[in-house]
A and B are shown apart, each in its own frame.
Chain A
Amino acid sequence: MIAPLTDLRLYIEALRALGEIQEIDAPVSLDLELGAIIRRCIETGAPAPLFNVLSDHPGRFRILGAPGGASAQPGMELVRVAVALELPSTTGGLAIAEAIAASLDRPAIDPVVVDDAPVFENVVTGAAVDLTALPVPLLHYGDGGRYLNTFGCIVVRTPDGAWTNWSIARMMVIDGDRLSGIVAPEQHLGMVAKAWADLGKPMPFALALGVEPAIPFICGMPLPAHVDEGGRLGALLGRAIRTVRCRTVDLEAPASAEILIEGHLHLDQLVEEGPMGEFAGYIPLDTQMRRPTYRVSAISHRDNAILPVVVAGEPVEENHTAWGLPSSAQLLHELRKAGIPASTAWIPLQSALHWLVVTVPRDWRRRSGVGESEALCRRIGQAVFASKAGAVIPKMIVLNDDVDPTDLKELVWAFATRCHPLLGHVVFDDVEGAPMLAYLRKSEKVSGHTGKIVYNCLAPDEWGEALPMRASFRHGYPADIVDRVRRRWSEYGFT
């Protein structure tokens, strides 16, 4: 039994015990230096940096970089994700996705409201609020501003109180009491905001930064509309998440927060926001866009509070782990619900959410009732591209399940050798697409529509259930020889 990690500090200690934390006492500037350090950590799999001294910020705040990044430790690539979700530290990507997918069939465990929380150790409200008092970094050279929120939990609720939505979306500091960010109408944040706007009211929001480590993963998970993330996370962890009432808005936010921002989102008050280096791995060439304003009415924080920071960009960063991995789980669940006998659904971390790999067993025809591989690929494409979780995915690869999609070497080999350049692929000419996909043309970004494809890498239909025989050590020799060679490996002189 793994002890619950009910706040960020417990998470940091758990990671420290696994060699996944690097304390940095040298003063570091918020102005690009911190972002560059986190980027380098991300790209080398170094431990998550915990910045104790910020050279250009006087307050007593700390910053945790790469809180959900990948690790270079052998066999522990996703240790930060596994630990955050209270799974064994060596749990692999597919097992994490299966665990999340399995929780979707369990009843929700809704959050409980507690009376007080450490985050209220310091509270500022009304005219006294000052966002510049927080350590807000400039993350990329080319960003349009300083981003306070990259890994926090945005809490909103529909006017009728029926749906409480937790999500992650970037938020840039405009001035002492204003933030701005992307509020896309097709996203749940935008849907709830529109419900308030339709009543002629701004939307109350809470932004909980530095929450218990599992929360960003449920915030990044593309659950269907009208499903409360808090309840689903409870089902995943097997315990209720503790929340606390906000001071200036009628919302409950995670009680574990290090920093809590409260206020209202005004869809009709547009300010310049962005650009920012994003999950696809690029800093957009666009100039600033006019986006809605979050007006802040309260700022609370723990003593010596820790702000988690994600420096989005080339993989593997938290967009790929905290958004991509739960998306894999959600898509796996939805595919199975749609009658597709998916063994795995996996967004390769290095694909920056541009690929989804679906694997099926050799007897997929008998399990699905679909006769031809192209028809199966079409059904998979229809199920994925029509779902919220799959809306961002533009390219899918369908393979037999002898291939482990989390093993990049295996995946590249299988895609290269099993994919006929002409036969069996399914093209979807005009479907909704996420505007932040890297290669989209301007017209596609504006229209929100693009083409998508399912690459059919299944064995030829003529073969039926026969699969290619792999010429590898693991596959190409009788089991007793493989076992014998493994057992005698050191006897041969190898170490």
Chain B
Amino acid sequence: MKDTERELADCVGAIYQAGAGDGSWLDVGERICRIMGARRAVLNLGGPGGPRNLLMPADGSETAYSAYFHASDPYAAKARYDFATARAYHLGRAKLGAELVAENDFLHSEFYYDFARHHERRHMIGGMAGITEATPILVARGDDAGAFEENHVRLLMTLMPHVQRAIELRARLGREDEAGALTRAALDALPVGVSVVDAGLKIRFINDIARRYLAGPDSGLFSLRSGPYAGSGVYLAAMSREEAGMLRKRVASATSGGSGGAMRVTSRNGAIAALTVAPAPLGLANDVRGRDEGDARDPLALILLRPLNRKVVPQADMLSEMFGFSRAEAEVAVALTGGASAEDVARGRGVSLMTVRSQIRSILGKSEADNLRDFERTMATLGALVPQLR
């Protein structure tokens, strides 16, 4: 195999790796530049922060283009026109810059005068790709490097089908990411700590509450980044060797066909948290599992975490909305749940005991509780819905 053929083959591999999220688009850009003898390569695609050039590191040129010059880029305009009018014809084709935009027009454009000539974009080749909108790939040289030739066009044309498929792959994986993101958002909103781990306690997902618990001073658990390589993942660990062993056993059970189990973890200052470990439901496992996180068939365990020695009282607003309590009744209910007697409440609120008793009767009636003890049970249940550790 000749050197160029080998480089092309390697570049195709790099394109698919990048499309699948396993490789770097910057690497693709570097390879394309090397093969084509180009200074810049451009593939603008959408992402979390809006469209950006995936093929070059962010530098002054890219910033200027994104901020202003993209609007006057004649090649981008031509690509949009071609894609809209004859998508099937243009997809996968590559052309010299002069065939896309007349040389004279380009050299007299604001785009060239103020931007392109300063940023090594004098000579261009454009190849068409895209799914729902034009996503051309452009390679460019400065004035000093000379114009591209037909053989460069053929080289880029060779790569174009692979670029197209990689863009499609990236989009499909992006949709899967979106589904996963929704699951993550839902888990983040839960009022208990939630983590999904693999059999080795590598954390595949952790919600906001659990993350805060692990970072807090009352935690008997902690997370730690693992080596030996950078990016080897983050693991769930326990402060105590014994509790770490118990946790491993429960996770082992949950990930090997068993039911998992429950346990307590105690921090150095005596704070206790309850832990329930269970097999992660398949759908949840698929959603929280990042596509870069190993074998999709790895069994995962769901860990629910809740501090025990923190009395959680529903908020007054929540009680008003749920039972139709007046503001005063809701505040009395909260105070009672906090352990105060009717006398304490009356004293604290500066009202008569008679008033408080009347409010308690109303509270019991609206909440359909038989007595105060029954009401406290209801309140304890509601406490489980109250977000903690925020």
Contacts and interface: CB of A to CB of B under 8 A. Distances in A.
A465 B227 contact: no
A372 B249 CA distance: 12
A480 interface: yes
A477 interface: yes
Contacts of A483: 27
Contacts of B200: 362-363, 366, 464-465
A110 interface: no
Contacts of B245: 371-372, 461
Contact of B226 (A363, A365, A465, A476): A465
A469 B244 contact: no
A484 interface: yes
Interface string A350-378: 00000000000011011000011000000
Contact of A462 (B30, B229, B230, B238): B238
Interface string B236-264: 11111100110111001000000000000
Contact of B27 (A469, A470, A480): A480
A371 B240 CA distance: 14
Nearest to A371: B245
B228 A484 contact: no
Contacts of A464: 200-201, 235-237, 244, 247-248
A251 B252 CA distance: 57
Nearest to A483: B27
Contacts of B24: 480
Interface in B247-303: 247-249, 252
A469 B227 contact: yes
A475 interface: yes
Given A476-B230, A478-B230, A480-B23, A465 B241 contact: no
Contact of A475 (B228, B238, B241, B247): B228
A478 B244 CA distance: 29
Nearest to B31: A487
A462 B227 contact: no
A470 B229 contact: yes
Given A461-B241, A466-B237, A475-B230, A484 B27 contact: yes
A462 B243 CA distance: 8
Contact of A477 (B228, B230, B235, B238): B230
A463 B235 contact: yes
A463 B248 CA distance: 10
Nearest to A463: B237
Contacts of A416: none
Contacts of B199: 363, 366
B241 A462 contact: yes
B204 to A, nearest CB: 13
B237 A462 contact: yes
Contacts of B235: 463-466
Interface string B188-213: 00000000000111100000000000
Given A372-B245, A469-B232, A462 B240 contact: yes
Contacts of B227: 402, 466-470, 475
Contacts of B30: 484
Contacts of A400: 228
A365 B228 contact: no
A365 B229 CA distance: 21
B244 A462 contact: yes
Nearest to A469: B227
Nearest to B23: A480
B47 interface: no
Contact of B201 (A371, A465, A479): A465
A467 B240 contact: no
B231 interface: yes
A476 B249 CA distance: 31
B15 to A, nearest CB: 14
Contacts of A463: 224, 226, 235, 237, 244
A480 to B, nearest CB: 4
Contacts of B23: 480
A463 B244 CA distance: 8
B225 interface: yes
Contact of A466 (B224, B241, B247): B224
Interface in A89-130: none
A465 B24 CA distance: 28
Contact of A371 (B202, B224, B229, B248): B248
Interface in A440-495: 460-470, 475-480, 483-484
Contacts of A484: 27, 30
Contacts of A478: 230-231
Contacts of B231: 478
A477 B228 CA distance: 11
Interface in B16-30: 23-24, 26-27, 30
Nearest to A477: B230
Given A462-B237, A464-B200, A470 B228 contact: yes
A461 B245 CA distance: 8
B225 A365 contact: no
Interface string A384-421: 00000000000000001010000000000000000000
Contacts of A372: 241, 245
Interface string B5-39: 00000000000000000011011001000000000
Ranked nearest first, the 8 interchain pairs of A and B with the lowest CB-CB distance are: A469-B227, A402-B228, A466-B235, A466-B226, A465-B200, A480-B24, A462-B244, A464-B201
Given A463-B235, A467-B228, 19 more contacts: A372-B241, A461-B244, A462-B244, A463-B237, A464-B200, A464-B236, A464-B248, A465-B201, A465-B202, A466-B225, A466-B226, A466-B235, A466-B237, A470-B229, A475-B228, A478-B231, A479-B229, A480-B23, A480-B26
9 contacts: A372-B241, A462-B244, A463-B237, A464-B236, A465-B200, A470-B229, A475-B228, A483-B27, A484-B30
